[in-house]
Amino acid sequence: MDLRQGIGLRRLGTTADEFQQDLLSSLYYRRGTTVESASPRDAYEALALTVRDRLAERRARTAAAHFASNPRWVYYLSAEYLLGAQLEQNLLYSGTGELASQSLKVLGRTLEEIEDLDVEPGLGNGGLGRLAACLVDAMATRDIPAVGYGIRYDFGIFRQSLEGGAQAERPDDWAFQGNPWEFPAPDDRQTVGFYGHTEPVPGSPTRKSWVPGEIVLGEPSHMLVPGYRTETVNIVRLWRARGSEASFDLSRFSAGQYAEAVQEAVRAENISKVLYPDDSTELGRELRLKQQYFLVSCSLRDIIRRFRLRNEGWDDFAEKTVIQLNDTHPTIAIPELMRLLVDEYGLDWDKAWSITRSTFAYTCHTLLPEALETWPVPLFERLLPRHLEIIYLINMFFLREVEARFPGDSDRLRRMSIIGEGSERRVRMAHLAVVGTEAVNGVAELHSKLLRETVLQDFADLWPAKFQNVTNGVSPRRFMKLANPRLSDLITEGLGDDGWLNDLDRLAGLERLAGDASFMERWRAVKRANKVDLAAGDPDSLTDVMIKRFHEYKRQQLKLLHVITMYHRIRANPAGDWVPRTVLFAGKAAPAYHAAKNIIRLINAVGATIAADPVVAPHLRVVFAENYNVTLAERIIPAADLSEQISLAGKEASGTGNMKLALNGAITIGTLDGANIEIRARVGEENFFLFGLDAFQAAEVQISGYHPREHYDRDAELKAAIDAITAGTFGGVGREVADSLLGWDEYLTLADYRSYLDCQEEVERAWRDPERWTRLSILNTAHSGFFSADRTIADYAARIWRVAPVPVPKDI
Ligand code: GL9
Ligand code: PLP
């Protein structure tokens, strides 16, 4: 290593005195205040800056090492990152937790009170955004040179509260007091065009020039993403939209037309104003497409800028660059790179296409047809006229290739076309993503298989080698070490050291302790203490959790039918020997998704009825925890006994909550869906509560004609549960839920009801035997090491990205 590349930074101190000095200096010189007048916010910001400095020093060395080695880079493009709170994580990753606790005393504060001020950036909706956060964490931990690109939304995922048992939404102004973790980089801003028209370029058949009708600026800032127990610190770079200078109309302002004077700037800034709460809403479709192009255009120019710092010409671009598309949201990157290469840099079409295709890879995260994005052609044509032309050309060459392989098969051409020809012509983003990339992957074995065999079957016929599986994973640092310190300490003691945090397969070493009486006793005590902390209900009750976004396919309504049936059973036999249960729900519903919101209301109505019933309340309690986010997940997961993963088989692409819960010793009750299948295969059939139709059977039921009423008529307990809703037992709430279950029941809830209830009885049999339950719990943790995001990243690195780690030396 050439040390001249190094930056010769003074190392920041590692003693308590030095840390305290730095804390005070942050307080004085960067917050501009004093010990005497420091508010809790000042203390928080000063601490955050002091910790951030430690990471920034590593970041500078990382940049130097990367610059020196000119590696192949991974660029992760994602419209969402659900990063979680930063302070606790950064204390852990910089090894300064103890120093911080000590030093804060000088300000008369405790770390706990400071941590409450550390708001999580809610820049994602749920599983997909949280996965992005776990993957960037693992890339840094595995020393992969990588940058995550995203959007710095002013408002993240809405804050949920309950009003009269119904979901209410408030805006999430997450950074309104500032965000100390972020480095603005206005020098790297980019210019993005929208609308306008295209003009031919004389002498060139493929080149065009695009004259945009609106110009918006993208200003980046970045957050540091440290690796755990390694020197690497990568970044996530987030773009914020700004009006250009020209967007402020001084003459109107001077004439007193204040609103008109800024209207163009306001329109520009709206692009990064809010995260879309899921895509089940028709609202703001144009703005959403604008967001996607904004992210893509800024990020690609930044990627090219970075490439050209280190390289000349274009020959090495695809060799030095791999761009991972997190779902279809950033897929316009494919025509955008073509546009940049052909129109702006003058490459010929074939060369540009060969570079483009070997640069991108695409991860699909769904099987739900309504979640596969398509855009109306007229909208595309108006907003991105040049991109539509490029898409048409890509499609023409692509369909020629299909025609050559399958001559005369016009049905196939119609099915595979990037342009869908229904009542309205639409651009199919998933098709564009498959055509324009080198690799396509699903996120769990079953999901990848179903992609190949159903939604993307024609493409898998054409290019079988392109399709792969990379099963999702989660960060053991955040979801074990930070979320569950008691269990982590016990595991470390059991295994002899804490190397498992970077090598999660080592959890398998717990297997030999699964029969050790004293270890089991302590394992139980940890779970109990976590339940006491959570304070959701009796810590000795079975804590049964269903925490995830509300969606009909996930089937919170099935869990609810179980609760209502329990309620009926206990009322019918108050003296019975009931297993006390606390059923905990948490999750948000998209604001426009009425069916999901009705389920939330019904849960709360049922919960209230049970709480008010002196016969049932001692045995059964229903809790709805408001505003599910990463911070809340970190509190609930360690306290869970039972993990509800009960989606209709074939609908949940993977799930990651299921992995977090299993790693924390919750036992899964679940269908053969998504990654549940792989969890069961690893923890063992006898350590997993399986019920319900499998994906094949579910498809058969649906094809052969499904009649939910037959189940209702046949099963007295099921009938009683649904009748109770319609009869008004729960205050008349939930009739729409009952109607949809009896009317069509799209996700076969009634078909799986009996099997689910039987399985819950097995759960209770196991629970009544604490030795058995504890063994199950330990074995779940012991055999879930595969679900580390570090393994996921090792898979991407080896099979999709073909990148090698670049370790950062300590002495650079
Ligand atoms: C999702 C899938 O539905 C999940 O099964 C999967 O675990 C994650 C991550 O791969 O991706 N796809 C998707 O659109 N969401 C997922 O959770 N939804 C949200 O993020 C709201
Ligand atoms: N939302 C949040 C806040 C999460 O922490 C997670 C985590 O795993 C999810 C959503 C995804 O949950 P699931 O995989 O159960 O859909």
* Beta carbons of 186 and 239 less than 8 angstroms apart: no
Q: What is the pLDDT of residue 4?
A: 42
The reply to whether 77 and 62 lie within a common domain is no
Closest atom of ligand 1 relative to the 368 alpha carbon: 3
CA 128 / ligand 2 centre spacing (Å): 8
Please indicate, yes or no, whether residues 20 and 146 belong to a single structural domain of this protein.
no
pLDDT for the residue 369:
83
Beta strands 214-226 and 122-123 are unpaired
- Tokens, residue 718: 């099921």
What tens digit of pLDDT does each residue of 218-256 get? 999 999 999 999 999 999 999 999 999 889 999 999 999
What is the SS3 assignment for 188?
helix
Query: For position 570, what pLDDT does the model report?
Result: 98
342 and 317 in a common domain: yes
For residue 710, tell me if it sits in a domain: yes
Are 517 and 411 in the same domain?
no
Is residue 486 one of the residues assigned to a domain?
no
Mutate which of 81, 83, 120, 130 to test ligand 2's pocket (most atoms within 8 Å of Cβ)? 130
Q: Is residue 810 part of a domain?
A: no
Mean pLDDT of 440-456: 97
Has residue 811 been placed in a domain?
Answer: no
Integer Cα distance of 673 and 747 in angstroms: 13
Q: Which protein residues are within 6 Å of ligand 2, measured from CB?
A: 126-127, 130, 548-549, 628-630, 633, 655-657, 660
CATH of the domain at 210: 3.40.50.2000
Beta bridge partners of 279: none
Determine, yes or no, domain membership for 628.
yes
- Does the C-beta of 549 come closer than 6 Å to ligand 1? yes
Please name the residue whose Cα sits nearest to atom 11 of ligand 2.
127
Backbone angles phi, psi at 277, to 5 degrees: -75, 80
| Secondary structure (DSSP) of 365-405 | ----GGGS-EEEHHHHHHH-HHHHHHHHHHHHHHHHHHHHH
Atom of ligand 1 nearest to the CA of 129: 20
Q: Which ligand is nearest to the Cα of residue 474, counting in written order? A: 2
Angstrom distances, CA of residue 639 to CA of 88, 103, 116, 209, 450: 19, 31, 20, 59, 34
Backbone conformation region of residue 565, classed left if phi is above 0, alpha if psi is from -120 to 50, else beta: alpha
Four-residue CA torsion sign, 450, 369, 283, 744: negative
- 125 CB within 6 A, ligand 1: yes
Give CA–CA dist 442/504, Å, rounded.
Answer: 23
Q: CB of 373 closer than 6 A to ligand 1? A: no
Q: Residue 677: pLDDT above 60?
A: yes
537 and 633 Cβ atoms separated by less than 8 Å: no
Ligand nearest to the CA of 651: 1
Token pair 């002196």 is found at: 614
Q: In this structure, which residue's CA is closest to atom 3 in ligand 2?
A: 629
Q: Do residues 37 and 124 share a domain?
A: no
Query: 629 CA to middle of ligand 2, Å?
Result: 8
Q: How far is the CA of 299 from the centre of ligand 1 (A)?
A: 23
Rounded CA separation 756/750 (Å): 10
Biggest CA-to-CA distance, the chain: 90
pLDDT for res 7: 61
Please name the amino acid found at residue 602: L
Token pair for residue 800?
């999709």
Looking at residue 685, its amino acid is E
109: pLDDT strictly greater than 60: yes
DSSP H helices in 230-372: 250-254, 258-269, 285-310, 317-320, 333-339, 349-359
Q: Yes or no: say if 285 and 379 are a contact pair by the CB < 8 Å rule.
A: yes
* Sign of the dihedral through C-alpha 485, 491, 495, 500: negative
Q: What is the pLDDT of residue 293?
A: 98
Spacing, Cα 65 to ligand 1 middle (Å): 35
Examine the domain organization and report whether 772 and 743 are in the same domain.
Answer: yes
Q: Which atom of ligand 2 is nearest to the CA of 656?
A: 14
Q: How many separate domains does the chain show?
A: 3
| The pLDDT of residue 137 | 98
User: 362: Cβ–Cβ under 8 A, 6 or more apart, which residues?
Assistant: 324, 325, 328, 331, 433, 434, 437, 439, 440, 441
Which residue from 794, 473, 793 is spatially nearest to 655, judged by alpha carbons? Answer: 473
pLDDT of residue 422: 86
Sign of CA dihedral 326, 308, 142, 464: positive
| Nearest atom (ligand 1) to Cα of 365 | 12
Question: CB–CB of 266/249 below 8 Å?
Answer: no
Say what the pLDDT of residue 2 is: 43
pLDDT tens column, 130-178: 999 999 999 999 999 999 999 999 999 999 999 999 999 999 999 999 9
Domain containing residue 240: 70-84+120-160+169-470+796-801
Decide if 809 is inside a domain: no
Ligand approaching nearest to the C-alpha of 363? 1
According to DSSP, the residues that pair with 468 across neighbouring strands are: 441
Q: Return the ligand 1 atom nearest residue 655 CA.
A: 7
Question: What share of the chain in percent tops pLDDT 90?
Answer: 94
Q: Residue 1 pLDDT more than 60? A: no
Position 8 confidence tier, pLDDT thresholds 50, 70, 90: low
Residue nearest to atom 7 of ligand 2 (CA): 657
| Nearest one of 511, 520, 566 to 541, comparing CA atoms | 566
| Same-domain check for residues 407 and 527 | no
Report how far residue 106's alpha carbon sits from residue 20's, in angstroms, rounded to the nearest whole number: 8
Pocket perturbation via mutation, ligand 2, pick of 365, 548, 642, 664 by most ligand atoms within 8 A of CB:
548
Report yes or no: 727 and 533 within 8 Å, Cβ to Cβ: no
Task: Please answer whether residues 182 and 221 qualify as being in contact, where contact means their C-beta atoms are separated by less than 8 angstroms.
Answer: yes
Higher pLDDT among residues 369 and 311, named by residue: 311
Q: What atom in ligand 2 is closest to the CA of residue 82?
A: 3
| Centre of ligand 2 from the C-alpha of residue 654, in Å | 11
Q: Report CA(469)–ligand 1 centroid distance (Å).
A: 15
Question: What pLDDT digit, counting tens, does each position of 181-196 carry?
Answer: 999 999 999 999 999 9
Q: With a cut of 60, say whether residue 3 has pLDDT above it.
A: no
Span 320-368, pLDDT tens digits = 999 999 999 999 999 999 999 999 999 999 999 999 999 999 999 999 9
> What is the number of the ligand closest to the CA of 673?
1
**Interval between CA 528 and ligand 1 midpoint (Å):** 31
Does ligand 1 have an atom closer than 6 angstroms to the CB of 656? yes
**Is residue 475 assigned to a domain?**
no
Nearest ligand for residue 366 CA: 1
pLDDT digits (tens, 9 = 90+) for 43-74: 999 999 999 999 999 999 999 999 999 999 99
- To test the pocket of ligand 2, the residue of 368, 478, 549 to mutate (highest count of ligand atoms within 8 Å of its CB) is 549
User: pLDDT for 637-658, tens place per residue?
Assistant: 999 999 999 999 999 999 999 9
| Residues 147, 110 share a domain | no
Pick from 690, 647, 620: nearest CA to 554: 647
Q: 777: left (phi > 0), else alpha (psi -120 to 50), else beta?
A: alpha
User: Which residue, judged by its Cα, is nearest atom 2 of ligand 2?
Assistant: 126
User: Cα(809) to centroid of ligand 2, in Å?
Assistant: 35
Count Cβ atoms below 10 Å from residue 784 Cβ, excluding itself. 27
Query: Average of pLDDT values for 75-83?
Result: 98
Q: What is the mean pLDDT of the chain?
A: 96
Question: With a 6 A CB cut-off, is 277 part of the ligand 1 pocket?
Answer: no
| pLDDT score at 279 | 52
In terms of domains, do 393 and 520 share one? no
For residues 270 and 305, state if they share a domain.
yes
Task: Find out whether 653 and 451 touch, Cβ atoms under 8 Å.
Answer: no
**CA 526 to CA 486: how far, in whole Å?**
6
Residue 505: inside a domain: no
Residue 283's pLDDT is what?
59
Active-site annotation, residues = 365, 548-549, 554, 656, 660
pLDDT band, residue 370 (cuts 50/70/90): confident
Atom of ligand 2 nearest to the CA of 632: 3
What is the crossing angle of helices 770-782 and 517-534, to 10°? 90
State ipTM.
Answer: 0.98
Ligand 1 touching residue 359 (CB < 6 A):
no
C-alpha 549 to ligand 2 mean position (Å): 7
Among the bound ligands, the one closest to the CA of 132: 1
Q: In what order do the strands lie in the sheet with 542-547?
A: 620-625, 581-586, 542-547, 642-645, 667-670, 689-690
Q: Are residues 544 and 441 in the same domain?
A: no
Closest ligand 2 atom, residue 652 Cα: 16
Question: Please, which pLDDT band fits residue 579 given cuts at 50, 70 and 90?
Answer: very high
| pLDDT on residue 703 | 96
Residue from 367, 471, 656, 659 to probe ligand 2 pocket by mutation (most atoms less than 8 Å from CB): 656
Ligand 2 mean position to 531 CA, how many Å?
Answer: 20
Same-domain pairing of 231 and 359: yes
pLDDT tens digit string along 696-708? 999 999 999 999 9
| Residue 748 backbone class (left: φ over 0; alpha: ψ -120 to 50; beta: rest) | left
